[in-house]
Structure 1
Amino acid sequence: MKMKTLIRTLIIMTVLMVAASFYYLPYYVTKPGDAHELSPIVKVEDGYDSKGELMLTTVRMGKANIFAYIVASLSKYEHIYPVDEIRSPHETDEEYNLRQLQLMADSQNNAVEVAFEKAGKPYEFQYNGIYVLSIYPSMPAEDVLKAGDRITKIDDQAFQSSREFISYVEGKKSGDQVAITFKRNGKTETAEVPLQEFPDMKDKVGLGITLTDDKEIITNPKVKLKTEDIGGPSAGLMFSLEIYDQLTKGDLTKGHDIAGTGTISEDGTVGRIGGIEQKVVAADKAGAEYFLAPDETITKEMKKEYPDLESNYKGAVRTAKDIDTSMKIIPVKSFDEAIAFLQTLKAKKS
């Protein structure tokens, strides 16, 4: 009898545990990811090789079930975030993932442009249209467009930037119809869509989409990046360094293993990223000797609004000390600063 009761109890507990693993809370959990060597990811045609490695760092993120939430709450370098701190308002999971992939694509374009500009190599941009990041609920586009669509024309007019697109739409009024030409899964489609005022912006008329420019950089020599499912813009700095290293003679790494993070703008400015502490942990586990961290400026206004806010560099230094790593944290404000630091390295003895 006792054995039957024990078995019944174990079965109930097992069912409850399985059910709990599939029940997701309105939170995301982030944790240290990996440090990926860039030489297999970035390939410049006929590019130069280096003895060391430049590495991008990642943060793992996923929806929190009960178990993940409990583990994260007890772990120093796992963090819990409410959904609305990760996703934009009205944004679905699919739209969030597509936005991260598009941010990665934009980051790659910037990285290539910065590296080729520095190396004095030729490049140009090919404009492909407007990339739809997300759709506002209850707006006209909801019945026609999907995140990931590319709008190539409106009223048979092609545009060379999202600014031109927005300016054209803003010249219309609520109720006006526009003919949209867009691409989805390689197929071109057209549809008539009315314009409407945004529910939370009565003076603004539109289709009801968030968008970005969909453009491709054309270079000589060619560059291929195999990023697969790595999303977001935070690898921009490391991409630009790897591309420049392969474009130019010499070895930026001097035989060292160098990790880092940071967005990269078209003018080479290195920008703030999220999850700096977790990326330092990932780089240390991968055996990196140096870690390049954004040293962005924290203004008085930012400090007033967020009293505990600190630069990525300061957060990285604090984490490095906490985990007692021998890895050196290097502050960088720009691509040029990163290059200048790498040029000071002495060749590592093999």
Structure 2
Amino acid sequence: MRRKIYIGTLFLVVFILIGGLYYPLPFYVSKPGMAKELEPIITVEDGYKEEGNFMLTTVRMGRANIYSYLEAKIRKYEEIYPLDLILSNKETEDEYNAQQLQMMAGSKLNAIEVAYRKAGIPVHYKFKGIYVIQVVPGMPAEGKLQAGDRIFKVDGHTFSSSEKFIKYVSKKQAGDPITLTYVGNKKTKTITVSLEQFKENPKKVGIGISLVDDKSIIVDPTVKVKTDEIGGPSAGLMFSLEIYNQLTSEDLTKGYQIAGTGTIDEKGAVGPIGGIEQKIVAADKAGAEIFFAPNENGSKTSNYRDALKTARDIKSKMKIVPVDTFEEAVKYLERLPEKDK
């Protein structure tokens, strides 16, 4: 009898332990990710080689289970976020992931444009449609479209920008049908939906989607940026530096290991990101010697100040460099002495 009780208890304990791995808590956990060399990721046709390396830095973010939650409670530089801080109202995880991938795509386009224009090379765009990044519950698109679908025709018409797509739809009235041709799950599909008024703005009609442009950039020489499943816009600055370095004969790395983070817009302005502390830890572990951090125009709560504090805390020897623009980062590197070999 005791043996049966023992075996039963053992099975229950094992079941609870295994269940703890798969039962999600209403939290997300972030922790230091990796610092990844960009030269294998970015390839400019006939681009110049470099002695050192530019590196992007990442944060590992995932839904918490009981073990990762408890681990984050006791480990420094691991953060716990309530679910509603990561996912906005009624937003699904698929929609969140689609947004992150689209922000990465936009970051790549901005980085390419900034680098090529700095190198004096013309840049052109080709509009390919719009990506769905969120579907509004209760609106006509619900159940018919999902995050990641790419719409490229409306009523048989193609458009040269998302603004023209929106303008076309806005001229119609509630109840009017529109036919959408789109790609979802690698298949081309066509659906017809009727427009409805938005509850928060009855003067506007639509099908209930948040969207972002799907466009490709046309440059010569060509450039390829392979980011796989890395999401978010925070690698923009480092992308632009790596691309520019391959376009020009002077090697800006000067033989150093250079990491960093920061969004980049089409004019080259560097913006703040989340998880700067974890990225400092990741860069330090990877052996980075220089780290570019968003300066936020000297704000007392800037990424740069948080990065500096973390670097001191972990006793890192990295040089933390504040930047507000791509141009500032380039000028810093141009003044940098060659690393002793």
TM-score, structure 1 as length reference: 0.93
2:39 pairs with 1:48: no
Identity among equivalent pairs (%): 56
* CA distance in 2 between partners of 1:270 and 1:227 (Å): 20
For residue 134 of structure 1, what is the amino acid of its counterpart? Answer: Q
SS at 1:204 equivalent: strand
* CA distance in 1 between partners of 2:3 and 2:277 (Å): 49
Give the C-alpha shift of residue 106 in structure 1.
0.8
Which residue in 1 is equivalent to 2:27? 27
Q: Which residues of structure 1 form unaligned runs of 5+?
A: 300-308
Which residue in 2 is equivalent to 1:302? none
* CA distance in 1 between partners of 2:9 and 2:256 (Å): 56
SS at 1:193 equivalent: strand
Alpha-carbon spacing, 1:6–1:186, altered in 2? closer, same or farther (3 Å): closer
Which residue in 2 is equivalent to 1:125? 125
SS at 1:142 equivalent: coil
Correspondence 1:13-24 to 2 at 5 A: 13-24=13-24
SS at 2:218 equivalent: strand
* CA distance in 2 between partners of 1:53 and 1:34 (Å): 14
* CA distance in 1 between partners of 2:152 and 2:14 (Å): 53
Give the C-alpha shift of residue 171 in structure 1.
2.2
* CA distance in 1 between partners of 2:8 and 2:148 (Å): 49
SS at 2:229 equivalent: coil
Q: Which residues of structure 2 form unaligned runs of 5+?
A: none
SS at 1:213 equivalent: strand
Stretches (4+) displaced over 4 A: 1-8
Stretch moving more, 5-14 or 60-69 = 5-14
* CA distance in 1 between partners of 2:232 and 2:131 (Å): 16
2:332 pairs with 1:341: yes
* CA distance in 2 between partners of 1:181 and 1:150 (Å): 9
CA deviations on 1:40-96 (whole Å, 9 max, x unpaired) are: 000111100111000000000111011111111112211111112112322211121
* CA distance in 2 between partners of 1:97 and 1:324 (Å): 34
* CA distance in 2 between partners of 1:108 and 1:55 (Å): 15
Alpha-carbon spacing, 1:289–1:196, altered in 2? closer, same or farther (3 Å): same
Alpha-carbon spacing, 1:254–1:277, altered in 2? closer, same or farther (3 Å): same
* CA distance in 2 between partners of 1:344 and 1:112 (Å): 23
CA deviations on 1:283-336 (whole Å, 9 max, x unpaired) are: 00101001000111488xxxxxxxxx8111111111111111111110000000
Correspondence 1:180-329 to 2 at 5 A: 180-297=180-297, 310-329=301-320
Give the C-alpha shift of residue 5 in structure 1.
5.3
Correspondence 1:81-92 to 2 at 5 A: 81-92=81-92
Task: Provide the aligned length of Structure 1 versus Structure 2.
Answer: 341
Give the C-alpha shift of residue 218 in structure 1.
1.2
SS at 1:25 equivalent: coil
Alpha-carbon spacing, 1:189–1:298, altered in 2? closer, same or farther (3 Å): farther
* CA distance in 1 between partners of 2:301 and 2:148 (Å): 35
CA deviations on 1:129-175 (whole Å, 9 max, x unpaired) are: 11111211111011322221111222233222212222222222221
